[in-house]
Amino acid sequence: DQQVKQNSPSLSVQEGRISILNCDYTNSMFDYFLWYKKYPAEGPTFLISISSIKDKNEDGRFTVFLNKSAKHLSLHIVPSQPGDSAVYFCAATGDNFNKFYFGSGTKLNVKP
């Protein structure tokens, strides 16, 4: 049973607009969350993370929001650029874990 879920397999957004990617998790013991970005034929690369002691973390155009009560996090990209077109994975872990649990990914397409 997947403990981290990304229910939208794809998302299409116009350049300059906001992209919102969502992720849900089931294990309340998770306390650290990450987003990875993956281009075709490459390995995933780390994008941004958030600890459960925060509800928001911002890095340039990328902001991650965490709603612990809803077990939900989201990645906001503003403004979206064509170079952001990629597959985005969310992942969760914590001190009680020696590993990450990944979602199935959301393919973002930013149209020029």
Partner 1 sequence: DAGITQSPRYKITETGRQVTLMCHQTWSHSYMFWYRQDLGHGLRLIYYSAAADITDKGEVPDGYVVSRSKTENFPLTLESATRSQTSVYFCASSEDRGATDTQYFGPGTRLTVL
Q: Which of 38, 26, 21 is nearest to 2 (CA)?
A: 26
Q: Is 45 a residue that touches partner 1 (CB under 8 A)?
A: yes
Residue 68, Cβ neighbours under 10 Å: how many? 15
Q: Is 103 a residue that touches partner 1 (CB under 8 A)?
A: yes
CB 30 within 8 A of CB 5: no
- Closer of 36 and 85 to partner 1 (Cβ): 36
Judged by CB under 8 A, how many residues of this single chain contact partner 1?
Answer: 27
Using CB under 8 A as the binding rule, the residues of this chain from 69 to 98 that contact partner 1 are 89, 91, 93-95, 97-98
CB 15 within 8 A of CB 84: no
Interface residues with partner 1 (CB under 8 A)? 2, 4, 6, 32, 34, 36, 41-46, 49, 89, 91, 93-95, 97-105
